[in-house]
Amino acid sequence: MLKQSYRYITAIEGVRSGRPIVESTRIGVHDVAGMILNGASIDDVVRSLPSLTRAQVYECMAFYEDHKSEMDLLIAQQMAGSEE
């Protein structure tokens, strides 16, 4: 899944079910993308998740754009409360 190189994004087996996360956190890329898609600004995300930098949030959105169908499914599952 991580075919392209991302500076801040990784996937670790056993952490968040192996889904893409921001490196050195347990924050899922889909968590960040879901916040933005639901109307949060980049600054809102950084205020809500103070362990993230603006650069990390922007990279999450770049990852989202590169993997939109997969990320949309994870976001929909999360919003429905069925995320594993």
Confidence (pTM): 0.88
Check if the beta carbon of residue 34 is closer than 8 Å to that of residue 19: no
Check if the beta carbon of residue 77 is closer than 8 Å to that of residue 66: no
The one-digit pLDDT tens for each residue of the chain (84 residues) are 556 789 999 999 999 999 999 999 999 999 999 999 999 999 999 999 999 999 999 999 999 999 999 999 999 998 888 655
Q: Please name the residue that has the structure tokens 């990390």.
A: 56
